[in-house]
Amino acid sequence: MSDIIASIATPKGEGGISIIRSSGTGSLSVALKIFHTPSGNPVEKISPNIAHFGSIYDPSTRNCIDEVVLTWFKNPKSYTGEDVVEISAHGGTFVSSRILGLVLDYGARLAEPGEFTRRAFMNGRIDLSQAEAVADLISAASDKALQAAILQLKGRLSKKITELYDRLLFVLSQVEAAIDFPEEGLDFQKRDSSISELKQVREEVSNLINTYKQGKISRDGASVALAGKPNVGKSSLLNTLLQEDRAIVTPHPGTTRDTLEEKVRIKDTHINIIDSAGLRRHPETIEQEGIRRTRLAIDNADLTLVIFDRSQPLDENDDLICKEIHEKPKLVVINKCDLPEQWPIEQLSQKIETDTVVFISAKEQSGLDSLINAIYSCVIKEETNGEAIFISRERHRLNLVQASLSLEKTLTSLESQLSEEFVAIDLNIAMNHLATILGKVVEDELLDQIFNSFCIGK
């Protein structure tokens, strides 16, 4: 990582300011080749962590490109842990590209996506979970997502994983001592204390795994599918929630023949609402693919709003909905309550089990506050403490699951008084999975996958 990387760190387009960032040994020397005093004289030396006003000149033409502010962050006290130079220029695609071109001409190369953060990781400034938090912070679209990313960036998850790792390391040291001195072995007291500690660690790992669903919802938002037979008002409800005519609404059943996904914010959580084709027992040929996609949306949703039309009798298509949604997370919504009712609510309770029923009229926009509160209560099972630790990435969840399985095998070996070698093998595997979360044990392919998702300049 001895080469110098550079890129524009701000979004493309016109704006008040544009930042050209470079990192690596010699990045300051490159910058000083094009940075001059306001009067146009070359600058030989500047102090770190101080903003210096001056101008960028093209050495080949002696033309002034822009008036800028240059800041040098001396290693290791920088974002990447290397010498970092940031040139704050006037916003604009041409100006910033021109300055970047000069930096590249005089010794830097264009940074790859996420390369600045990758260098911060490789230089030990942050661990891998904190690097992922940088991406989460940039893409945060709600207060919940923002706070979750900030806590992870500050190392809350890292500290917890490190604590669990260190506790397993202590148990492993006792096991390996028994391997090295077989005449002493692992006495009953140490075996019992090791079992107790491993059970406690396994429980804490399980608790972290159980935070994944809520953590993912906080980061990515919740997926809520609208389901029901044709013409119960799914598209009308979508339009009402969006406060715009996004979905086509007609009195003819089967108008919606594909899934349509839109985002709304409910309180501090983003909700991805998926309108879908109506389910019925005997669909037309053109509807069948839409119904397949409806079933897929229901399977993947965090919550399904099961919508019934109060103004029309229940029929076999409603029965089909009840059976398809039987064991899935759901909220029953009774629509068209502005019209005369055609069936008692008790009739529905015999077909579908639910704790909550919400009565609305999507057309008249009545009952929407109750519906919004019910959706929020269903997707946010409980209000989490602002300082609570939870996971939001599938990579973390999978490694924790594997660590838990290895701890289970370790406990079985200890409780069965198997050889310490067997105990050590599974214990090492569990520790490796925890270390992978932090990036202590990681392959280049995984790093490429993570950092390639970043924007260039970060």
DSSP assignment of 187-256 equals -HHHHHHHHHHHHHHHHHHHHHHTTHHHHHHHHH-EEEEEE-STTSSHHHHHHHHHTS--S---SSTT--
What's the pLDDT score for residue 419? 81
What's the pLDDT score for residue 339? 92
* Residues in a beta bridge with 263: 272
What's the pLDDT score for residue 252? 43
Q: Please list the rounded mean pLDDT of every run of 10 residues in the chain (458 residues).
A: 89 90 96 91 90 95 95 96 97 93 96 95 94 91 85 94 96 84 61 91 96 89 90 87 61 54 84 82 66 85 92 89 86 93 86 86 91 90 68 95 97 87 93 95 85 80
Q: Which residues contact 100 (CB under 8 A, 6 or more apart)?
A: 6, 7, 8, 20
What's the pLDDT score for residue 435? 96
* Sign of the dihedral through C-alpha 200, 398, 270, 264: negative
**Are the CB atoms for 228 and 334 separated by under 8 Å?**
no
C-alpha angle with apex 371: 212 to 300, nearest 5 degrees? 35
Q: Where are the chain's structural domains?
A: 4-111, 131-211+391-451, 221-379
- The DSSP bridge pattern shows strands 4-8 and 108-110 to be parallel
> Could you tell me the pTM of the whole model?
0.82
d(CA 79, CA 88): 16
d(CA 157, CA 163): 10
d(CA 379, CA 212): 13
Same fold, 4-111 and 131-211+391-451: no
Class of 131-211+391-451 in CATH: mainly alpha
User: By CB neighbour count within 10 A (0-12 exposed, 13-18 middle, 19+ buried), where does 26 fall?
Assistant: middle
What's the pLDDT score for residue 285? 62
What's the pLDDT score for residue 283? 63
4-111 CATH fold: Gyrase A; domain 2 (3.30.1360)
The angle that helices 128-139 and 156-180 make with each other, rounded to 10 degrees, is 160
Cα-to-chain-centroid distance, residue 197: 31
Check if CATH label 3.40.50.300 holds for domain 221-379.
yes
What's the pLDDT score for residue 249? 44
**Are the CB atoms for 32 and 102 separated by under 8 Å?**
no
What's the pLDDT score for residue 287? 63
